[in-house]
Every structure is written in structure tokens, then in C-alpha cells.
Amino acid sequence: MINIRIDKDFKVLFPFVEKEISFVPVKIYNNMLTEKESILNDFKGQSGIYLLHNLVNGKQYVGSAKDLKKRLYSYYFPLKLMDNRYVSNSILKYGHDKFSVVIVEIVTFKNDLKKEILEREQYFIDTLKPQLNLSPTAGSKLGCKLSEETKRKLSQLRMGKKLSEDTKAILSRLFSGELNPFYGKTHNLDSLMRMKLSKIGELNPMFDKEKSPEFIEQMYKDKKGSNNPMFGKTHLPETLSKMRKPIWVYNSSSLKFIKMYNGTVQLKKDMKMGYDTIKKYLNTDQSYKGKYFRSIPINKN
């Protein structure tokens, strides 16, 4: 899952104004990025109609879902956003923070849930005439046909094949820092065990494959001292800057900036803390001795 924030400073020219619409919405989320957790959890398991509103150009998309959480969750995934629809392209262009999400109506069914949801979706499509809906008919798959280039990229993502430099640059931007879905999180013991077991026996990608003599030699080769490929060499300053991850330190009460460390070596000495402790408190809401540790600067705006 991803959260997209675009570097360009798009101005909010068309904020969503409740009094300008002809219906009473169930809930309005003004920012699809900062209110993501509420958007995904407030209507879990409920069926209904939703509206995505572009704050830059005022264009809208009306959709429906049997489970609003599952449907809205999909708008944070790269595979969903690469389907070449107007609404997906718009999110990629402007970013999640330039969209409002409106829960238009909760649908409680009596007989046929799918039919009743589509009927309500059609009503709001007819009423609002959303420009990001490619088809004026609710439930239509018009516009979901993928180009051959898009299919190829999706296939590469699924199969783990090597991506082009341009594609890798795009994905790197989308997954960097706090936009990464795993930002500030760690695997629990159960997840680590499942990951480990998934590589055992026939599940291992190298299972029953013959290894070359060169490969076997590298596996068991002593890489200490002069056998280490970096023995007697030094990294270039550019390489060192990429290897060292900067850490910003703030006062946990006032959020006053204290210092930026270019890596953990000096930080451990100054703060008298171990690497595991730094890792534990980095990018969390927990403070250590009255200090916050962040891998990106805190935006106070």
C-alpha cells in the first residue's frame, strides 16, 4: 500500500463545500492522505456509495462498494492506480493529499444487495455527473482495459522481474520515507516466523535447483581480511552518504529541533544508547529520555 504526496505545490482551488451539494453526506474526509486511517476503518464491513473529490480541479468520481473499507483501501495500492482510469491517473498526478473522500450514503439491503447498491450509485452519478467516471452507467467496466505497456509493468511487479530505471525511480518516490506503508513499523514474531517458513523446502525459490561450482565456492568462501572484496578500499563520499541514514532528534515536549546525525555512530555516543534502542524508538510516537528520533524532518506546518 502506498500514500502519494506530489512534490509540486498544487493549489487547492475547489475545496469540497457541503452546502453546495443536494444531499446530506454521511461523513466528509477533507484529506485522503492525512485521514487515511479513519477513511479505512470508520465504515469497515458496511456497504455504500462514496465520492472522491479533486481539490485542485473540482473533478469528482462516484463509486460503490459492498465493503467500503476494502474498496477505499484499493486506492492506496500501486496495482490499482496503474489501471489507467481517469480517477487513478488523477490520484497519481495530484497526490492523495489533494483529494477529499465523502461517504455519500450507507446502503442497507432488503433483497438484492448488488442491485440496490448499483441503483443508488446510478442515482448519484445522474445527480452529480462526475467527470472522472468514464461511463455514465453504474457498474460499467468501461475504461478498465489496460494498455500493453501497463500490463507489462504489472506483470513485472507481480513476478519480481527487473524494472526499468524510470519505473524504479517512480516506485522509489512513491514508497519513500513516511509514504512507505511499513514506515515506523516492525514485524511481530508471528510474521517473522511465517516469512522464515515460507522459504523452507519446496517453498524456497532455489529448491531442487543445481548450483554452479562458482556459486558454491562463493557461498563457502572466507570473506574476512584480504578475501573481503572491500579489503583495503574505501567508499566514495557519495556512497557513504547513501549508506548512512540521517536521523533528526527533537525534544518530545516542544518538538524543538536538537540535532541531525548523519548515521547512528555519533548518535549512539552522544545519547549513550545502543543501536537496538535507536531502532525501537525511530519513527514512533514513543520518546526516549524526552527525545523523538525521526528518519525525516518533522513538518510543523
CATH code of the domain in which 267 resides: 1.10.10.10
Query: In this structure, are 135 and 251 located in the same domain?
Result: no
Secondary structure letter of residue 198 according to DSSP: T
In-domain check, residue 137: yes
Which CATH number is 16's domain given? Answer: 3.40.1440.10
Instruction: Identify the residue with better confidence: 265 or 142.
Output: 265
pLDDT, tens digit (0-9, with 9 covering 90-100), for 100-123: 999 999 998 777 888 899 999 999
Residue 153 belongs to a domain: yes
Residue after which a domain boundary falls, among 177, 197, 231: 177
Least confident of 127-131, 290-294, 295-299: 295-299
- My answer on whether 170 and 249 are in the same domain is no
Domain count, the chain: 2
Q: Is the pLDDT at 250 greater than 80, yes or no? A: yes
Q: What is the pLDDT of residues 184-209, one digit of tens each?
A: 666 666 666 667 666 667 777 777 77
Q: Rounded to an integer, what distance in angstroms lies between the CA atom of residue 245 and that of residue 226?
A: 28
Q: Is 250 left (phi over 0), alpha (psi -120 to 50) or beta?
A: beta
Q: Give CA angle at 48 (175, 31), nearest 5°.
A: 40
Domain presence at residue 55:
yes
* Distance of alpha carbon 100 from alpha carbon 97, whole angstroms: 8
Q: Which of 177, 211, 230 is the last residue of a domain?
A: 177
pLDDT at 11: 87
* Domain enclosing residue 280, as ranges: 239-294
Examine the domain organization and report whether 3 and 126 are in the same domain: yes
In a domain, 67, yes or no: yes
Provide the pLDDT for residue 185: 65
Asked if 100 and 14 count as a contact pair (C-beta separation under 8 A), the reply is: no
Domain end marker among 177, 201, 231: 177
CA distances from 141 to 81, 83, 85 (A): 15, 11, 10
In a domain, 117, yes or no: yes
This prediction's pTM: 0.52
CA pair distance 120, 64, nearest whole angstrom: 8
Domain presence at residue 186: no
Over residues 268-287, the pLDDT tens digits come to 999 888 888 998 888 888 88
Q: Which backbone phi and psi does 7 adopt, to 5 degrees?
A: -65, -35
Average pLDDT over residues 15-27: 89
The answer to whether the beta carbons of residues 88 and 146 sit under 8 Å apart is: no
pLDDT of residue 187: 66
116 in any annotated domain: yes
pLDDT at 151: 59
Average pLDDT of the chain to the nearest whole number: 81
Is the domain of 78 the same as that of 160? yes
DSSP structural state of residue 19: G
For residues 165 and 38, membership in a common domain is answered with: yes
Length of the chain: 301
Residue 185 lies in a domain: no
Tell me the β-bridge partners of 27. Answer: 103
User: Is residue 81 within 8 Å of residue 91, measured between CB atoms?
Assistant: yes
Indicate whether 157 and 273 sit together in one domain: no
